[in-house]
């Protein structure tokens, strides 16, 4: 069996989320609605104290789940979503239009360096994105580029797969993780193939290392507010405008 589940066989984002995987992404996450919905509600609660007219940058917006959730929850906010995968963005555009949110959302296909710099965002989300960058310098650069787009003191809510490999915690977390994500007919070989991607196609770091990368990119010490198996979520704040 070959799995198209994107959290199991990661690679470069623009290649990972090709047309087939983009088309299956929402169906895949729908298999685990508790995990998906809990993270969205965590996001909404963490961002609740932002100004009523906030501008939000959604980095790696994918099919638009967090953007649409937040836009419905906070009707005066406006959004910019960016993602390198054209198939994912096509789905996002369709969903945003169907939700009647197009007038409040700008969507860009590409990376942050293709987005005009205005330092005008009150907050940014970066959910399940940075672990696709294998080099720590690339991850730090991603967070630094996010900082450049935020107002001074702007909020970053981020989440990634994070647990140091070859530790008791990793071994305890991965078994239930793959049971949730792999289909019921998955074989032992499927489990082994999925696990082999960790450390080679997706960068699993100790959560403390991820926090250090975020902080070194121009943010306050991240506060870890969320965990569901391998997914960890943090909130941090931009320290100063980055030149």
- If one compares 84 and 210, the residue with the highest pLDDT of the two is 210
| Other beta carbons within 10 Å of 92 | 25
User: So where are the chain's domains?
Assistant: 13-237
Fold classification of 13-237 is Rossmann fold (3.40.50)
Instruction: Give the distance, in angstroms, between the CA of residue 92 and the centroid of all CA atoms in the same chain.
Output: 15
Q: Which of 243, 237, 7, 240 is nearest to 124 (CA)?
A: 237
- Pairwise pLDDT comparison (187 vs 145), residue with the higher score: 145
Q: Is the pLDDT of residue 38 over 70?
A: yes
Helix (H, G, I), strand (E, B) or coil at 36: helix
Phi first, then psi: what are they for 191, rounded to 5°? -60, -45
Distance between CA atoms of 209 and 223, rounded to whole angstroms? 13
Whether 14 contacts 82, CB under 8 Å: no
State the pLDDT at residue 19.
Answer: 52
Res. 67: pLDDT tops 50: yes
34 vs 8 pLDDT, higher one: 34
Name which of 4-13, 29-38, 134-143, 177-186 the model is least confident about. Answer: 4-13
In the chain, what percentage of residues exceed pLDDT 90?
61
Higher-confidence position of 184 and 53: 53
The pLDDT of residue 180 is 83
- pTM, to two decimals: 0.87
What is the average pLDDT value for the chain, to the nearest integer? 86
Higher pLDDT, 109 or 3: 109
Identify the band that residue 196 occupies on the pLDDT scale cut at 50, 70 and 90.
Answer: confident
Give the pLDDT band (50/70/90) at residue 14: very low
Q: Decide if pLDDT at 200 tops 90.
A: no
């Amino acid at each position: 069996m070959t799995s198209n589940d994107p959290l199991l066989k990661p690679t470069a984002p623009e290649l990972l989320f090709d047309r087939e995987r983009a088309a299956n992404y929402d169906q895949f996450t729908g298999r685990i609605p508790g995990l998906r919905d809990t993270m969205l509600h965590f996001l909404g609660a963490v961002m609740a104290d932002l100004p009523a007219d906030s501008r939000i940058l959604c980095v790696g917006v994918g099919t638009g789940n967090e953007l649409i959730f937040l836009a419905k929850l906070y009707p005066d906010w406006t959004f910019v979503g960016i993602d390198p995968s054209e198939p994912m963005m096509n789905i996002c555009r369709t969903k945003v239009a169907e939700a009647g949110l197009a007038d409040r959302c700008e969507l860009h296909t590409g990376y942050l360096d293709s987005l005009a710099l205005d330092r005008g965002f009150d907050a940014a989300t970066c959910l399940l994105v940075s672990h696709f960058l294998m080099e720590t310098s690339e991850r730090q650069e991603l967070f630094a580029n996010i900082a450049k787009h935020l107002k001074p003191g702007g909020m970053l809510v981020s989440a990634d797969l994070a647990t140091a490999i070859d530790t008791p915690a990793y071994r305890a977390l991965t078994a239930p993780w793959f049971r949730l994500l792999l289909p019921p007919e998955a074989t032992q070989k499927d489990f082994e193939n999925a696990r082999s991607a960790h450390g080679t196609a997706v960068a699993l770091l100790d959560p403390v290392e991820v926090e250090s990368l975020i902080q070194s990119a121009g943010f306050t010490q991240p506060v870890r507010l969320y965990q569901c198996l391998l997914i960890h979520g943090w909130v941090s704040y931009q320290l100063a405008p980055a030149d």
